[in-house]
Amino acid sequence: MEGLLHGFVVAFTPTNLLFALIGCFLGTLVGVLPGIGPIGSMALLLGATYGLPPVTAIIMFAGIYYGSMYGGSTTSILVNIPGESSSVVTAIDGNQMARKGRGGAALSLAAIGSFVAGTIGLIILTMLAPALATLAVKFGPPEYFAIALFGLMMLSQLSGEGFIKSLLMVTMGLAIGTVGLDMITGLPRFTFGNLDLQTGIDFVPMAMGLFGIAEVLLIAEQKVQENKEVIKVKLRDLLPNRDEAKRSVGPTLRGSILGFFIGLIPGPSAVIGTFTSYILEKKISRHPEEFGKGAPEGVAGPESANNSAATGAFVPLLSLGIPFAPPTALLLSAMLIHGITPGPLLMTDHPDIFWGVIASMYIGNVMLLALNLPLVGLFVRLLRTPSNLLMPIIVVLCIIGAFAVNSTVTDIMIMVISGVAGYLFRKIGLPVAPLLLALVIGPMMEESLRQSLLLSQGSFSIFVTQPLARTLLIITALVIIVPRFFKVFKKKAQTN
């Protein structure tokens, strides 16, 4: 509690409050506008934060991440176009409520559910992260390798595009991560004489290409929609009625707790959380026939799980220094650029950042509640922005953002190549998130592996003799084998 109070002192400084508000507003904005998303917007702003204190920059980026979770529900409910992939489920019942004249109530249920979920998630984060950080101090190279391997295998298992496809993208990400100077010998690898590549393939231009440029290319294929059907909402219609409010209490609380613990799992946790919450609520509901036709539980539960999962994703980042989701990978990049190494020692070495960011998220939750409901009219008008005007602006900003990170043309080329690759990957159904996360986790995984082998004089037994590493590797093996076993067993059962 002392640390959290110190965090509020840091977060309540005028500069940090201002940048928390900017982050929350930008996050809502990118959540509302389908296209660039939180990763692209954070990548664009990375170069602009060099002059800011580290804690201020991280507070703003965190605001963009969890703010985008709020914003995605607006388009899902009013236009039936999810601003974020995590808002797909909200569109099912949210848009049906809007068509029945209950759009304002649906927006309120989403905003209040997000606020409650974010707060509950933060309370668990406040209690859980310090304990995990204490445990993580005991981690050595074998344990870090084992948890990185576990993360990548879980990511491959849960990406939703099939294990083989995800594993292929993970392998590609690990290969790209080897470009640059060898961390042990100092010799260049796969640089082909290019000096800019000696520092490795930077995460930021890759992220902007795979998510920003690829999205622009996909939207360019579609017909320009000048007049999207946007359901109008008046301020007086924002309050849910008694029945809607009563039916939303249970789903909000269940979604908050469920979403947080799903957020600890590597992969698209927010998306998994929303689908899991929706299925759970439909199973236990007294009115399952109303789902898909405007059930308030179908809005409150998934939106709560969505925001709580985003909060849960901060636990492995802050306590272990390992990102399990693309937005937290970009937060890791922002920390490293500002000379901060997240992980077990973050709480003791940089308490201002650790507790300041957590405290700012409490404040940001209140800001988002205040922003989302009164400014719904502004966001609705933004939805009418034609794609042929918005997309060129995004491309220009991506080019500026890629160049600003290291001031090299090589980064722009990397962004363009990864943008075209990301477009092609999506066309053939290959997931890009595993590639991006493998690019971040890969170098750490390689370093841990080689340090472990140096400690054991080349013997792989070090991964078996260390209890924690052994446990993690057994869990990883089970994650791969058990689903395959059940699949075979199910096929045999169907045949018989």
Residue 226 has pLDDT above 50, yes or no: no
Residue 175 has pLDDT above 80, yes or no: yes
Residue 118 has pLDDT above 60, yes or no: yes
Domain ranges of the chain: 1-141+203-407
Q: Per-residue confidence at 143, pLDDT binned at 50, 70, 90?
A: confident
Better-scored residue on pLDDT, 339 or 72: 339
Tell me what pLDDT residue 18 has.
92
pLDDT > 70 in the chain, percent: 86
- For residue 480 the two structure tokens come to 């791969």
Tell me what pLDDT residue 37 has.
65
**Residue pLDDT, tens place only, 357-409:** 888 888 888 888 777 777 766 766 666 667 677 778 778 877 877 776 677 88
Residue 228 has pLDDT above 60, yes or no: no
**Residue pLDDT, tens place only, 22-55:** 888 888 887 776 656 677 677 777 766 777 888 8
Residue 467 has pLDDT above 60, yes or no: yes
Rounded-to-integer distance, Cα 72 and Cα 310, Å: 13
Q: Which residues contact 215 (CB under 8 A, 6 or more apart)?
A: 35, 36, 37, 40
Q: Per-residue confidence at 225, pLDDT binned at 50, 70, 90?
A: very low
